[in-house]
Each structure stands twice: as C-alpha cells, then as structure tokens.
Amino acid sequence: MSLSTVLRVLGRNDGEVHSVFRTGSRVYGTATAASDEDFVAVLTRRDAKQDLAFSPGVNVVVHGLDTFRDAIAEHSVFALECLFLSPEHRLKEARPPFPFKLDRKKLAASAASRSASDFKKAGARFDEAPEASKKKLFHALRVPLFAVQIVETGAIHDYGAATPYWREILADERLDWEPYRATYGPLRERLCARLAALASRR
C-alpha cells in the first residue's frame, strides 16, 4: 500500500504528515489475505492529539510529534517498533530520525505492564470474542519478546519472533480460556522475568 493511500485515509496532504510506518500483521508475518493493513502516522503538528483513522481494510494510529515522542520516552514497545523497521515498512521516513535513549529498566516495566494488560483483556473477553482475544494473547507474548531484543541488542531485528506462538494459538480450536491461560500464562511470566533479569544487569 502506498503513502498516497494512507494520506487519503487521513484526509491530509503530504506536508501535514511527518512520517508513516507500517505496523501489525504484515510486519510480524502473521497476515492472511483477509488481514487489514495497519500503520502509524505522525503528523507535523506538535500539539495534535493521538487518534485513530479507518478505511475499509486500513487502520491508522495517528500521533502528533509530541505524543509520539512521549510514547518513545515512555518506552512503549508499540512506538519503539516503528524505529527499527526495515526500509520497505517506512512509507515516509522521519527526518531527522526520532531520538531514543534506552533505559532498560523503564523498557522492562513498560513491556511487562502492557503484556499483563493484554493477557488480562484476552481472558476477560475470550468467551464472547475468542478471535480478538487470541490476538490480545499473541500481543501479550510479542511485546516482551520485542523488548528482550531491544535490551540485548539495542534494536528489534526479528519482527517474527512471536509468530510461532501465533500459529499455535490460531490453530487451537478450544473455546475455553483456561487451557490458554494454563499454557501461555507461565510462558508470558517467564518472558517478563527474563526481560527483568536482563534489564537489571550492569
């Protein structure tokens, strides 16, 4: 999908948009033919509020410069993953690049909190929305896996690190949350514990 399509979804011209990043399943390697395309767009306005924009098959998380910089400063993995994308997923480059100084403990705390939140949401809505809940469960594993890469190497090198887990989760036809909780809850806790241990090393 082209930059012009994203601009059309946003209802903005090129000069109003600072940078655009592809995110989601087409980056993680989990997309199917029916998957939407997901993007993060950062507007040139510093004071623009975080928002969402939609079109059939396209979802865009919209940031202003300040809200995106704040997300990076808070070590949100969803913001940080934009920084390390390969060129084909950068529809419009950030010039100059967004600065990022790694605080390992802050990253570990942020990732663990987001992972716990996604895991809790997956369990809370599994009976009524199993498909959406499986995606939340996947993100509960993906976020600490990405954070581990950043702590270990300073970047995300493997955006498909959690894809094998997604395939397992997707293929599982059970409609009760308990077996998922029993299988993936301890795994999530081990990932977060590993992240915390790495972050505390000197």
pLDDT tens string 119-131: 999 999 999 999 9
- Mean pLDDT value across residues 87-102: 95
Query: How does pLDDT run across 59-83, given as a tens digit for each residue?
Result: 999 999 999 999 999 999 999 999 9
Question: How high is the pLDDT of residue 12?
Answer: 95
Residues paired with residue 79 on neighbouring β-strands, in sequence order: none
Q: How confident is the model at residue 34 (pLDDT cuts 50, 70, 90)?
A: confident
Specify the fold of 3-92: Beta Polymerase; domain 2 (3.30.460)
Q: How confident is the model at residue 28 (pLDDT cuts 50, 70, 90)?
A: very high
Report the side by side order of strands in the sheet with 17-23: 51-55, 58-63, 37-43, 17-23, 90-92
- Using CA atoms, how far residue 128 sits from 56, 65, 131, 135, 169, in Å, is 24, 37, 9, 14, 17
Distance CA 42, CA 44 (A): 7
Question: How high is the pLDDT of residue 164?
Answer: 96
The domain limits of the chain are 3-92, 104-200
Look up the pTM and report it: 0.94
Q: How confident is the model at residue 32 (pLDDT cuts 50, 70, 90)?
A: confident
Query: How does pLDDT run across 183-196, given as a tens digit for each residue?
Result: 999 999 999 999 99
